[in-house]
């Protein structure tokens, strides 16, 4: 028998494909009425929190109060004031973030809020149009649409934009092995240490996803307490938005925290099967056995019936081997939850022609749908 007849046996791909296909995900959406959806959402959130290690983070060390958040600097920009803060999210862990306050907004005239989450290859600076380094200035010049934090501020939103774990000022030092064999190498401000953090978190029975959600929830605590953010009764009127990896964590934050009134997920919605077995995205996308609980469509269904804007370029390689039909299939599954709530008009899927990028078609949707009571 010729060697080439054995070639495909050298790969684990078929093994993993069959493993995935033969396992029914525990929380695959199958609710039939509103009460059923609410019961499913509660049970799925609890299972996810345990699987991700998110519930453990709230018990580690003394609680960190957002009242201790420190203002580091402020700068008047054209049309808005930019403040830089730092808040503590876990013992010995601090997160810097920007707050952009439009000139027409004040405590007496509050505006809607948006948490804008950066993508891989970006940080709070580039999302807010701040070029402190040469690579950041080049990024802003080459991809101005990805300055969506700045754009939301120009449109009158109070913006909160963090460096998530492993991004920007929070890039981890090079591991000893890398430093030894790549002498002189230093991580730039647009690099990301997701892989290192994901592996370390997993070794401790946690996940990078849990660290991200935890940090963003702390930022949401701060944002909801700001007088500049409009309120509907006792609740802040605030949404979240992000592109690519930032879209992933906008999705997670909205899925877990119902204080988020609207979510914009750009360049991220696809299926776990394609993501794990074809695209091989960054380890920050996964946690051990997460795939056994549900798919990305199921996570997005936790957002229902709150407004959700999904954006996928038709030529985005991260859509998977079936192209744009992969994300479309996911959105069809998400739509079932919205239809049960009678809120099909609150889910919008935009598929502009092009590759992996933020297109910015969401602004009208956000203006129309980020309102008071949901």
**pLDDT value of position 187:** 72
Answer whether 257's CB lies under 8 Å from 308's CB.
no
pLDDT band at 278 (very low <50, low <70, confident <90, very high): confident
Cα 237 to its chain centre, rounded Å, is: 19
Answer whether 187's CB lies under 8 Å from 205's CB.
no
Mean per-residue pLDDT, 267-281? 85
Mean per-residue pLDDT, 142-151? 97
Strand order in the sheet with 70-77: 70-77, 80-90, 93-102, 158-162, 113-117, 238-243, 263-266, 308-311, 347-350
pLDDT tens-digit readout, 19-58: 989 988 999 999 999 999 999 999 999 999 999 999 999 8
342 vs 189: which has the higher pLDDT? 342
Q: Has residue 181 got a pLDDT over 90? A: no
Share of the chain above pLDDT 70, in %: 93
pLDDT band at 71 (very low <50, low <70, confident <90, very high): very high
* Least confident span in 34-48, 57-71, 100-114, 344-358: 57-71
pLDDT band at 12 (very low <50, low <70, confident <90, very high): confident
Mean per-residue pLDDT, 292-318? 97
Contacts of 11 (CB under 8 A, 6+ apart): none
**pLDDT value of position 285:** 82
**pLDDT value of position 235:** 94
**pLDDT value of position 282:** 81
Distance of alpha carbon 337 from alpha carbon 305, whole angstroms? 8
In words, the CATH class of domain 35-369 is: alpha beta
Distance of alpha carbon 124 from alpha carbon 168, whole angstroms? 7
Q: Has residue 1 got a pLDDT over 50? A: no
**pLDDT value of position 180:** 64
Look up residue 31 and give its two tokens.
């609710």
Model confidence pTM above 0.85? yes
Q: Has residue 59 got a pLDDT over 90? A: no
pLDDT band at 182 (very low <50, low <70, confident <90, very high): low
With the C-alpha atoms ordered 182, 184, 188, 193, is the resulting torsion angle positive or negative? positive
Mean per-residue pLDDT, 271-291? 83
* Least confident span in 95-104, 131-140, 164-173, 177-186: 177-186
**pLDDT value of position 97:** 98
Q: Has residue 321 got a pLDDT over 80? A: yes
**pLDDT value of position 60:** 83
pLDDT tens-digit readout, 212-269: 999 999 999 999 999 999 999 889 999 999 999 999 999 999 999 999 999 999 999 9
What is the average pLDDT value for the chain, to the nearest integer? 92
Share of the chain above pLDDT 90, in %: 78
Distance of alpha carbon 114 from alpha carbon 309, whole angstroms? 14
Q: Has residue 302 got a pLDDT over 80? A: yes
Q: Has residue 183 got a pLDDT over 70? A: no
Cα 320 to its chain centre, rounded Å, is: 19
Mean per-residue pLDDT, 140-144? 96
Burial class (CB within 10 angstroms; exposed 0-12, middle 13-18, buried 19+) of 72: exposed
């Amino acid at each position: 028998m010729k060697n080439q007849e054995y070639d495909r046996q050298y790969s684990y791909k078929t093994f993993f494909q069959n493993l995935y296909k033969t396992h029914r995900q525990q929380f695959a959406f199958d609710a039939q009425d509103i009460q059923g959806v609410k019961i499913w959402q509660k049970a799925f959130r609890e299972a996810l929190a345990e699987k991700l290690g998110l519930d453990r983070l709230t018990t580690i060390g003394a609680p960190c109060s957002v009242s201790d958040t420190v203002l580091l600097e402020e700068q008047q920009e054209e049309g808005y004031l930019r403040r830089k803060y730092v808040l503590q999210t876990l013992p010995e862990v601090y997160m810097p973030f920007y707050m952009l306050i439009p000139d027409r907004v004040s405590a007496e005239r509050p505006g809607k809020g948006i948490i804008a989450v950066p993508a891989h290859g970006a940080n709070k600076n580039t999302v807010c149009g701040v070029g402190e380094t040469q690579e950041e200035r080049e990024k802003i010049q080459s991809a101005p649409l990805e300055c969506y934090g700045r754009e939301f501020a120009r449109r009158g939103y109070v913006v909160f934009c963090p460096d998530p774990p492993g991004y920007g000022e929070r890039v981890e030092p090079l591991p000893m092995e890398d430093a030894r064999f790549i002498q002189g190498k230093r991580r730039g401000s647009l690099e990301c240490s997701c892989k290192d953090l994901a592996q370390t978190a997993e070794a401790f029975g946690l996940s990078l996803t849990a660290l991200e959600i935890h940090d963003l929830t702390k930022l949401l605590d701060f944002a909801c307490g700001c007088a500049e953010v409009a309120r509907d009764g006792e609740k802040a009127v605030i949404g979240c938005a992000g592109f690519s990896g930032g879209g992933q964590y906008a999705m997670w934050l909205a899925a877990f925290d119902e204080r988020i009134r609207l979510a914009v997920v750009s360049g991220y919605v696809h299926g776990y099967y394609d993501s794990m077995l074809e695209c091989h995205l960054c380890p920050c996308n996964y946690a051990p056995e997460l795939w056994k609980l549900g798919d990305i469509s199921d996570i997005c269904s936790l957002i229902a019936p709150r407004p959700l804007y999904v954006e996928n370029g038709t030529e985005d390689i991260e859509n998977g081997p079936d192209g744009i039909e992969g994300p479309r299939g996911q959105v069809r599954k998400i739509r079932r939850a919205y239809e049960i709530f009678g809120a099909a008009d609150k889910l919008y899927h935009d598929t502009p022609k092009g590759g992996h990028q933020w297109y910015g078609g969401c602004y009208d949707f956000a203006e129309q749908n980020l309102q008071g009571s949901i």
